[in-house]
Amino acid sequence: MLSVLLAAASVHAGATQAVDEVVAKPAVEAPAEAPAVAHPAALPAVAKLSLVSSGEQMVVDYGTSSSAEECKDFTPAGKVYDATTLREKLLPFIAKMVERSRRMTGVLPAVETTLSAGEPVWVQAYADWPAEHGLRAGSCGPLTLQLTPEAGKKYQVEFRFLGDNKCRQVLLDVTDPAARQEIAAPVTAACAAPKKSLFGLF
């Protein structure tokens, strides 16, 4: 009888130890999921181009062309003027009248257009003005340059009046407005002047 009790106690102790061992085993954690990899956003397949002028208040006609030849197939891109210089050189009430007149005919301080990335484009600028507001009649240009825009970039073509019917055209990278950079772009003056429109007088 005693041996039976001892055997039963031994079995009970073994079972208790087995249960304790099962309980004591740490739970197996599932492997953590790998964090999602952020892919860079695709760059837009376009670039921005702004057209401006500086140095004088005269109107500048801009045109663009995707032709393989530098002087062919230009289409109007807009008319601009240097509003800051206009306000500095004219009396306030005259400057306001001129600005209003120009705005009504689509002549603005700046014009912006969208370009297809990777496709070369010619940009041409020309100024032809009458004798008015203290100016002698004159003209400058046309000046033509070519650029091949990169996706996501912002460019600016600036027509600069230098005095005595002299002018210069420059290409700038203005993607970062705080770090504007001039881009080397050969400029040609070989193209013929475009026909002057009626609104080019204002």
Would 1 be classed as within a structural domain?
no
Tell me what pLDDT residue 39 has.
62
For the cut 50, the answer to whether the pLDDT of residue 104 exceeds it is yes
Contact partners, residue 112, CB within 8 Å, separation at least 6: 48, 49, 50, 51
Arithmetic mean of pLDDT, 21-37: 56
Does 98 reside within a domain?
Answer: yes
Q: Convert the pLDDT of each residue in 105-163 to its tens digit.
A: 999 999 999 999 999 999 999 999 887 766 778 899 999 999 999 999 999 999 999 98
Mean pLDDT over residues 31-38, rounded? 61
- Residue 96 inside a domain? The answer is yes
What number is the average pLDDT over the span 83-108? Answer: 94
The answer to whether residue 28 is domain-embedded is no
Q: What is the mean pLDDT of residues 98-108?
A: 95
Residue 50 lies in a domain: yes
CA Rg value for the chain: 37
Is the pLDDT score of 43 beyond 90?
no
pLDDT value, residue 5: 40
77 in any annotated domain = yes
DSSP 119: -
CA-angle at 200, arms to 197 and 202, nearest 5°: 140
In a domain, 38, yes or no: no
Alpha-carbon separation of residue 146 from 56, 151, 152 (angstroms): 24, 16, 18
Is 164 a domain residue?
yes
Cα–Cα distance measured from residue 100 to residue 123, given in angstroms and rounded to the nearest whole number: 27
Residues 6+ apart with CB under 8 A from 46: 114, 115, 116, 117, 149, 151
Rounded to two decimals, what is the model's pTM? 0.73
Q: Which of 27-31, 96-100, 197-201 has the highest mean pLDDT?
A: 96-100
pLDDT of res. 131: 78
Phi and psi of 24, rounded to 5°? -75, -20
Type of residue numbered 160: R
Q: What share of the chain is helix, strand, coil (3-state, %, to 5)?
A: 25, 35, 40
Overall number of domains in the chain: 1
Q: What is the pLDDT of residue 56?
A: 93
Spatial distance between the Cα atoms of 151 and 48, rounded to a whole number of angstroms: 9
Question: Which string of DSSP letters, residue by residue, matches 177-196?
Answer: GGG-EEE---EE--SPPPPP
More confident residue, 2 or 86: 86
Q: b/e per residue, 176-193, with b = 16+ CB within 10 A?
A: eeeeeeeeebebeeebee
Phi, psi dihedrals of residue 92, rounded to the nearest 5° = -50, -45
pLDDT tens digits along 45-61 = 999 999 999 999 999 99
Range of the domain at 104: 46-194
